[in-house]
Amino acid sequence: MPRTVYFDYNATTPLDDDVRAAMLPFLGEVWGNPSSVHHVGRHARALLDDARDRAASFLGAKPSEIIFTSGGTESNNLAVFGAARLLKSRGRHLITSSIEHHAVLQSFDCLEKKEGFSVTRLPVNANGRVSPDDLKRAIRPDTVLVSIIAANNEIGALQPVSELGSVCRDRGVLFHTDAVQWFGKMPFKSLSLFNADLVSICAHKFHGPKGAGLLWVRSPLHPHPLLFGGGHENERRAGTENLAAIAGFVAALEKFVTPPIFDEHPLKPLTAELRASIACNDGCVIVSPSSNCLPNTVAFVVSGADGISLLAGLDVEGICASSGSACSAGSIEPSHVITAIGKPDLAHSLVRFSLGRHSTADEVRFVCQCLPRVIRRCRLHSSSSPC
């Protein structure tokens, strides 16, 4: 078996031992339903309330503003559908960007196609950034919601979210940001840095458990729920709370977000070496911006090759990478992000390396040694394949 080099930390991270330990009581002795009125349920409720208080304190929020969810996708769906449906009597115009995660893009698509909303999708520049001036021009009297991702999952581009949020606030428009890739990678003091009304967070991106996330909703906003069947989460998200996952989420939040577990100081030399090596390969174009980018992320495209073949070739060498969004793994559709930054002809050939706290210089050197032959093999195969 080849060695394993895991360079796909934007997709998911391994569960931390301390986080696992924080979850264990909720897989054993603490098994009550927090909605039950007896003492077993009340004990579970007290611990759920404590987790909510801790999350709120860490984020600089009120406990009533925290909605625990199953992860980033649900948080994004709840923000977009919940806010749009809540405010549809005021207007049916929505704004997003062309490089959002599919959990946001497809939510807007559904509102546009099935519920009578109008959607403006803002363009981005070659570095994948939205212009605040474009946002100002796009806002109309009937605009009720703007959703712009904080850090792009495919190429790592950081958006000027604080400025975008200020534009929305000045115009009286709700602003949501998908901050799933931000937490654990970028500096954080409080949610105020986003100037947002709704913020999505996901635990498994910073060594927490899968199936856990939250949506922060600025009080007194009360988005329409997506799930019905009970008064859980202050009647905003029906379903018995997953206490084990919530406990792990809060433990990871407290341990790995401030300072970010993806420390830029050891990571930047590693990604700089990767960038330099990738640039030396014929046909390779680096698409992660050199500034205003996640410190752990290097994405590139390869002319004359396709992403699935490149990932398969890397995997044979034991190297785990990604081609765009992990939630689209196995998809052969071109990357909408690469298309949006002006490279539609290369949108099918994206490869993303995303490093983490366990990544080493030796692993980077190994990847740099393997990459040229993987690229040559894929380009040769592509050129010899019949049209």
Q: Is 327 a catalytic residue?
A: yes
Other CB atoms within a 10 A radius of the CB of residue 259 amount to 11
Identified catalytic residue from 168, 202, 320, 327: 327
So which residues are the catalytic ones?
A: 327
